[in-house]
Structures are given as structure tokens and as C-alpha cells.
Amino acid sequence: MKNYSRQREEIIKVVKESCDHKTAEEIYMIVKAKDPAVSRSTVYRNLGLLVENNIINKISMLVGPDRYDYITKPHNHAICTKCGKVFDFDYKFEYEKIKQIVIEQTGVEISDKGIALDGICDFCRKNN
Amino acid sequence: MKNYSRQREEIIKVVKESCDHKTAEEIYMIVKAKDPAVSRSTVYRNLGLLVENNIINKISMLVGPDRYDYITKPHNHAICTKCGKVFDFDYKFEYEKIKQIVIEQTGVEISDKGIALDGICDFCRKNN
DNA sequence: TTCCATGCAAATCGTTTGCATAAAC
DNA sequence: GTTTATGCAAACGATTTGCATGGAA
């Protein structure tokens, strides 16, 4: 991420200000509303860059497109596998202990981006 | 899943017997080796059905295609975001407590399929 | 003999890439 | 002036779908 660009600035702003967890397409539509000339590839390219630079997180979904999340502090996600909504929750996992156990058992050094759990949200449980 | 089919039987067998966590394409290739007439769509259709019926798990990846996992008992995954390998690990999360907290905070009723963590595996840490 | 599952090919979805132009430094 | 980012359109990988046929109950 060497050079500044107006488009990137706006993309960051959209992710930062959205309390839900938007898809690339949603972010594209919002940015496009302000600046009709932006292209989808600019959005995808910048989201990729921002993930690489640990400015935003990418959340991979069991169903549907990936979603993005501005990084403030590590937090956890509860993901509805019906509608795809992502909810934040607070819980103090025994992080250091888990990290230790995982690397011993698997060799994988886990990142501290929080933990994601899948389930069904309130709305989808009721309306289905 | 109403009617039996030879193809589905074989697909289940492949997922069941693979200790790693295969992609749909890998499963397709293995099944195809035994039965050259199977089509890719049959593999995808059956994997979908098997997930719906809680016979196998689908694992969504930060990068690359989804992977599948035969359900024996709940267990956790450590996923390498470089190479895409999925490793199993054992750790007794305080499951009931977490479930309670998540539903209170988010309304999401989480499934008991275990927890997935992202990180970088031993091999990728060394060779990169 | 009525469904359900299959194989095939085409369609779709989400994302990435090549290339010429435009903006940053 | 030299890079780096953009916009566009085409390519791409992974997955889904429509439809005619074959197999299961």
C-alpha cells in the first residue's frame, strides 16, 4: 500500500462506519453511490490490500460471499448460516492456553483475530 | 435424502476414509477413478445433501474452495490460511457457557460442530 | 409407474487479471 | 518522469441449475 487514493480512503471509511459486516458487493454499491466512476475491481483490490495490511478482516462464510470487518480490537463472531449475518460477541477465551495447545497438536500458529462460531440467528429460527 | 444411490455411497466412503479434509474437486477425482461416469454435479449435489443431513461438515476457507469432513464426534479445526490445510485439535471449550453467552449477546444459537481457528502451519512458516 | 438421482452442458456467482489510462509522488 | 492505482472488460475457479434419461422403491 504505497500510494494514497481517494477510492481506497472511501472504501476504508465504509468498512469502518458499517456496524454490520458487509460483502464486497455491498461496499462497492455504497462507494459507487458517492463516486459513480469506481469500479468493482478497485473495491476488490483494495479490500485484499487492506486485509494483507491488517487494517480490515476478511470473514469467510459457509454460504455466500466473504464479508469484511474493520479491526478495532480482537472480538468474536457468531455467524448465521441461514441468512449470513455476522454478529459480534464478547467472551474471554483462554487465548494463550489455546494458542499453546493448537501449536503443540497441529503446528499451526493461530492468529489473534478472534473466534468464529456458526449457528442460526433469532430471526431465522423464528421465520423458518 | 430419500433414495439410495451407488454414487452417494462412494462419496460418503471417500469423505469418511480421508483423514485430511478434501475439497469437492478432490473427492470428485477419487470417486471418478473408481467410477469414470460420475459427474461433478452429482458430487456437489451429494455433498450438499450430506451437509444438510449432518453426515458431513463443510469447512469454509479464507482462501480456496470449501472442504469436507466426516462427522464422528465434535472436534476443532486449525486452518492454515497460506496452504489451506486443515488440522484437527482437541480442546475442551466451555461449550455450554459459550453457547449461553452467544445467544444472550447475539440471538444466535450456535451449532456444536466445534470451533475453527485460522493461522499459519509449521511448513508455511518455515518455507516462506 | 411414480419419484428421485444422475449426467451433461450451460449458467451463475464471486473474484481476479491484463491492459491502457490517470493519478500520486 | 517514474511508479502505482484505476477502470474496463474479459477470464477465471467454484458451484449451481435445467433438462432429458436412468435407477430405486
Q: What is the pLDDT of residues A14-65, one digit of tens each?
A: 999 998 999 999 999 999 999 999 999 999 999 999 999 999 999 999 999 9
DSSP B128: -
Whether A1 maps to a domain, the answer reads no
Of B35, B54, B69, the residue at which a domain comes to its end is B69
Smallest CA-to-CA distance from A79 within A55, A65, A59 is with A59
One domain, residues B53 and B96: no
The pLDDT of residue B128? 65
Smallest CA-to-CA distance from B85 within A106, A27, A34 is with A106
Hey, of A56, A58, A60, A126, which one would you mutate to test binding to chain B, going by the most B CBs within 10 A of its CB? Answer: A60
Q: Find all residues with CB under 8 Å of B92, minimum gap 6, and list them.
A: none
One domain, residues A28 and A53: yes
The pLDDT of residue A2? 84
Whether A90 maps to a domain, the answer reads yes
The pLDDT of residue A19? 87
Q: How many CA atoms lie within 13 Å of A58's alpha carbon, on the beta-carbon side?
A: 19
Nearest to B109 among A62, A105, A125 (CB): A125
One domain, residues B34 and B54: yes
Hey, of A67, A109, A117, A125, which one would you mutate to test binding to chain B, going by the most B CBs within 10 A of its CB? Answer: A117
* SS3 assignment, position A67: strand
The pLDDT of residue A128? 64
Name the closest residue (CA) to the C1' of nucleotide D24. B3
Strand C nucleotides within a 7 Å radius of protein CB atoms: 3-10, 13-18, 23-25
One domain, residues A15 and A50: yes
One domain, residues A64 and A81: no
* SS3 assignment, position A11: helix
The answer to pTM > 0.75 is yes
Query: What is the average pLDDT across A61-74?
Result: 94
Query: Chain A, 27-56: which CBs lie within 7 Å of strand D?
Result: 35, 37-42, 45-46
Instruction: Give the C-alpha separation, A31 to A14, whole Å.
Output: 7
Query: Could you give the angle at the alpha carbon of B21 between the alpha carbons of B118 and B113, nearest 5°?
Result: 65
The pLDDT of residue A113? 87
What domain range is B21 assigned to?
6-69
Yes or no, beta carbons of A98 and B88 under 8 Å apart: no
Considering its fold, how many domains does chain B have in total? 2
The pLDDT of residue A127? 83
The pLDDT of residue A59? 97
DSSP B3: S
What is the interface size between A and B, counted as CB pairs within 8 Å? 102
Query: What is the average pLDDT across A81-85?
Result: 92
How far does the CA of B37 sit from the C1' of D21, in Å? 14
CA torsion sign for B112, A93, A112, A100 is: negative
C-alpha cell at B73: 464426534
Whether B65 maps to a domain, the answer reads yes
One domain, residues A11 and A64: yes
Whether B1 maps to a domain, the answer reads no
Whether A118 maps to a domain, the answer reads yes
Can you state the percent helix, strand and coil of chain B, rounding each to 5?
A: 40, 20, 40
One domain, residues A15 and A36: yes
Residues of chain B with pLDDT under 70: 128
What is the percent of chain A where pLDDT is above 70? 99
The pLDDT of residue A85? 94
Of A26, A46, A69, the residue at which a domain comes to its end is A69
One domain, residues B63 and B94: no
